[in-house]
């Protein structure tokens, strides 16, 4: 009876715990945090972070007009007015003086216009610069630490938002980098193992060449298959070659420039002299798909870089274990031979 009462009480307490709304909220929060720590959750979180950041920067940077555009319009208006004044005063009396004064006006306008270009004037309004795909690429360049430099925030709010966005985005990207690398490494290792076993199945059936124990093998006598460094390099080379052809066709770059852009971007050098969709014609002709595909290409490519890093590190670790084991066996063999040799000499001496 006492046991039955205690079981009834425990059931009642557990039911009240489950039915408690606070416990339900806590349980949902735990499940959500656990899901966000998985590979799928981190990937979705980094994409959502980029989308929210793109929308935020669009809203911030398009609130205020670019003062350089108004400055250049004023320069053009003043230059035209000064040329008209010079023409009214001098064109009927002395043509040489008119040419001299007109050259001075044009030279002053040229210097002011060049200064505006050095300050970042490119002929585009904030709405044309900060379209959604371009803002998405800006967010990618910030939290992946590429930093192309072709797009920069002009307003004070935009600069402050960039600091906060990078502070939280860089650790999130590092988490994505490691998790995505593990997923791709496991997938590529499984594929490589499957192909390796299919290609060597006949050899394994015909003899015992595929069985091995020790540090290079598994506990069941099955040989451990290591993804070689050359396979990782081939994957990266094929990925870069694909991006080279794609960007060369889209952007009308040379293949050298396209390969140069892919390598500098995937290595996170981010020089910024070549960026897809950075010219005025692409931004005004409504071709945002290129920038979206570039976003996916860069994000997936950095995952492949992480994959190659993990696989190469595993190969180096296993090779070092094998070298350590071979060195140990060699030293044991040498010590045994030395002991045997010393024992033989001693026996001859005593005889």
**136-161 pLDDT tens trace:** 889 999 999 988 888 888 888 999 99
| Residue 316 lies inside a defined structural domain of this protein | no
The mean of the pLDDT values for the chain is 77
Tell me whether residue 212 is in a domain. no
pLDDT value, residue 87: 73
pTM higher than the cut 0.75: no
Domains of the chain: total: 1
Nearest residue to 248 (alpha-carbon basis) of 240, 258, 239, 256: 258
The pLDDT, as a whole number, for residue 8 is 47
Q: Is 111 among the domain residues?
A: yes
Averaged pLDDT, 65-69? 75
315 inside domain: no
Would residue 210 count as lying in a domain?
no
Percent of the chain with pLDDT over 70: 75
Is residue 91 in a domain?
A: yes
Tokens of 15: 């039911």
Q: Which of 142, 156, 139 is nearest to 268 (CA)?
A: 142
Residue 284 is assigned to a structural domain of this protein? no
User: What percentage of the chain has pLDDT greater than the value 90?
Assistant: 16
State yes or no: pLDDT of 348 exceeds 60: no
In this predicted model, what pLDDT tens digit does every residue of 287-345 receive, in sequence order?
A: 567 777 888 898 889 889 988 888 888 888 888 888 888 888 888 888 887 777 776 55
3-state secondary structure (DSSP) of residue 150 = coil
- Using CA atoms, how far apart are residues 13 and 9, in angstroms rounded to an integer? 6
At 275 the pLDDT is: 83
Which DSSP state fits 253?
-
pLDDT of residue 211: 41
pLDDT band at 212 (very low <50, low <70, confident <90, very high): very low
Quote the CA–CA distance of 134 and 157 in Å, as a whole number: 18
In a domain, 254, yes or no: no
Q: What average pLDDT does the segment 96-117 reach?
A: 82
Mean pLDDT of 167-184: 87
Q: Please tell me which residue, 28 or 202, carries the higher pLDDT value.
A: 28
Q: Output the pLDDT for position 165.
A: 94
Domain with 148 in it: 22-167
Alpha-carbon gap, residue 243 to 288, rounded angstroms: 17
Q: Kindly state the average pLDDT of the residues 108-128.
A: 79
């Amino acid at each position: 009876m006492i046991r039955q009462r205690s079981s009834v009480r425990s059931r009642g307490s557990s039911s009240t715990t489950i039915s408690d709304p606070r416990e339900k909220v806590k349980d949902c929060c735990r499940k959500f945090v656990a899901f966000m720590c998985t590979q799928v959750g981190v990937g979705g979180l980094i994409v959502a972070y980029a989308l929210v950041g793109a929308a935020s920067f669009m809203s911030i940077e398009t609130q205020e007009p670019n003062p350089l555009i108004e400055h250049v319009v004023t320069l053009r208006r003043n230059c035209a007015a000064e040329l008209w004044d010079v023409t009214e005063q001098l064109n009927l009396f002395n043509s040489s003086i008119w040419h001299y004064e007109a050259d001075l006006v044009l030279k002053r306008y040229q210097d002011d216009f060049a200064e505006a270009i050095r300050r970042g004037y490119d002929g585009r309004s904030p709405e044309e610069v900060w379209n959604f795909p371009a803002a998405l690429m800006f967010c990618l360049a910030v939290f992946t630490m590429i930093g192309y430099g072709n797009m920069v925030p002009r307003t004070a709010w935009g600069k402050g938002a960039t600091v906060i966005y990078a502070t939280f985005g860089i650790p999130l990207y590092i988490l994505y980098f490691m998790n995505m690398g593990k997923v791709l490494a496991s997938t590529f290792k499984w594929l490589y193992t499957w192909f390796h076993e299919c290609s060597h199945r006949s050899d394994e059936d015909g003899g015992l060449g595929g069985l091995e124990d020790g540090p290079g093998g598994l506990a069941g006598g099955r040989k451990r298959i290591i993804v070689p460094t050359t396979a990782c390099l081939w994957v990266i080379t094929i990925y870069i070659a694909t991006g080279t052809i794609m960007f060369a066709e889209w952007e009308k770059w040379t293949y050298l420039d396209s390969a140069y852009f892919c390598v500098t971007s995937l290595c996170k050098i981010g020089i910024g002299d070549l960026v897809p969709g950075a010219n005025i014609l692409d931004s005004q002709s409504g071709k945002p798909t290129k920038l979206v595909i570039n976003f996916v290409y860069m994000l997936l490519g950095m995952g492949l870089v992480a994959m190659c890093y993990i696989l190469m590190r595993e190969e180096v670790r296993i090779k070092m274990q094998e070298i350590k084991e071979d060195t140990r066996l060699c030293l044991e063999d040498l010590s045994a031979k030395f002991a045997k040799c010393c024992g033989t000499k001693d026996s001859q001496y005593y005889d």
